């Protein structure tokens, strides 16, 4: 095996291993596109090397790995945007979600006639949640 072939196979292995390590430490999600892309490229490189070296068992393994990763990436991209995972977190988003929930509750209660209409109280709650 030539040194260029060795270099490509090490690069492919590193891509697959780095994606796995990043997933284990929580840096990448297994259902994310970056994880799938690293697996597609890494295992695709290894499948090409396996083909050149006539290593059929290794080709089967890496070809299957690349195929499964490709199908996962295509399914992830095909999902509508609202079904994809959102990365909104933090204190302000949590407070905003709380305020929106409270506003909805008040709207329902007002519609049922259970609460008097006090808009100043609602603005006070809104300012508490967003500051």
Pairwise CA distance, residues 21 & 19, whole Å:
6
Tens of pLDDT, residue by residue over 8-17, are: 889 998 999 9
pLDDT tens for each residue of 91-105: 555 666 767 777 777
Q: Any idea where the domains of the chain sit in the sequence?
A: 3-83, 91-130
pLDDT at 131: 42
Q: Angle, to 10 degrees, between the axis of helix 56-78 and the axis of helix 33-52?
A: 160
Cα dihedral 87, 97, 127, 92, rounded to 10, equals -20
Least confident of 85-89, 109-113, 121-125: 85-89
- Terminal-to-terminal C-alpha distance of the chain: 64
Provide mean pLDDT across the span 32-60. Answer: 88
């Amino acid at each position: 095996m030539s040194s260029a072939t060795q270099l490509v196979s090490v690069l492919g292995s590193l891509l697959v291993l780095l994606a796995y390590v990043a997933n284990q430490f929580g840096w990448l999600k297994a259902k994310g596109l970056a994880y799938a892309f690293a697996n597609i490229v890494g295992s695709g490189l290894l499948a090409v090397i396996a083909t050149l070296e006539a290593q059929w068992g290794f080709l089967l393994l890496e070809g299957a790995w690349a195929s499964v990763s490709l199908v996962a990436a295509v399914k992830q991209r095909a999902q509508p945007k609202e079904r994809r995972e959102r990365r909104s977190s933090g204190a302000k988003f949590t407070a905003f979600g709380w305020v929106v929930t409270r506003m909805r509750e008040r709207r329902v209660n007002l519609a049922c006639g259970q609460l008097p209409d006090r808009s100043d109280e609602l603005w006070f709650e809104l300012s508490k949640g967003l500051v």
